[in-house]
Amino acid sequence: MNLYPLGRAICSGLLYPIYNYQIIGRENFPKDGGVLLCSNHISNLDPPTVGIAAPRPVHFMAKEELFSAPVIGKILPHINAFPVKRGMSDREALRTGLKVLKEGQVLGLFPEGTRSKTGELGKGLAGAGFFALRSKASIVPCAVIGSYKPFQRIKIVFGKPIDFTEHRNNKVSAEEATAIIMNEIQQLIGIYK
């Protein structure tokens, strides 16, 4: 049973009044086809925030430990989340992510792999570049800007899709591909902060 629409509605009802979201660039989000949505990561609230703001349902990778948590672990599989083992190459998670993209759905990633302690954009992991190079998905950079202090505005900015055709043809490495994506996210932060 897919609880994504219900979960999105509940999160929206709870979070919108507290954080006064401003969503910028929704028109940049492709209406169909596979989308690799890559965002910076500043808070545990980023997944619901990005999920609320995105105009299409998002499938998120979530750290494997969350799936064994008492309540949330039972809910996650029903809200389009799937587990990933952190700190190692998780082939099952990579296969699942590619399948999501191949089926024309949206895969949401936080390429840094963990929350930034400083709020500054960290180095991205190679996984984002892997998905960008191994799929034909549109790559949409996203920036979450703000401090998540109650009643202060949070901005969610969707950038224009990055054209990866040349990078795929030039066979850039997954690390280089991730760096290109992270640079686009950094530019969005710089413009809209």
CA distance 83 to 87: 13
What is the DSSP secondary structure assignment for residue 162, as one 8-state letter? B
**Measured distance between the N- and C-terminal CA atoms of the chain, rounded to whole angstroms:** 39
Convert the pLDDT of each residue in 79-123 to its tens digit: 999 999 876 678 999 999 999 999 999 999 999 988 998 889 999
Domain 4-192 in this protein, CATH class: alpha beta
Q: Which helix (H) or strand (E) holds 176?
A: helix 174-192
Q: Where are the domains of the chain?
A: 4-192
Considering the chain, what percentage of its residues have pLDDT values greater than 90?
84
Q: Which helix (H) or strand (E) holds 107?
A: strand 106-109
**Contact (CB, 8 A) for 136 and 122:** no
CA distance 23 to 179: 25
Convert the pLDDT of each residue in 44-71 to its tens digit: 999 999 999 999 999 999 889 999 998 8
pLDDT at 1: 84
Q: Which helix (H) or strand (E) holds 142?
A: strand 138-145
Tell me the sheet residues that pair with 142.
Answer: 39, 158
Sheet hosting strand 22-24, strand order edge to edge: 22-24, 155-158, 138-145, 35-39, 106-109, 58-63, 81-84
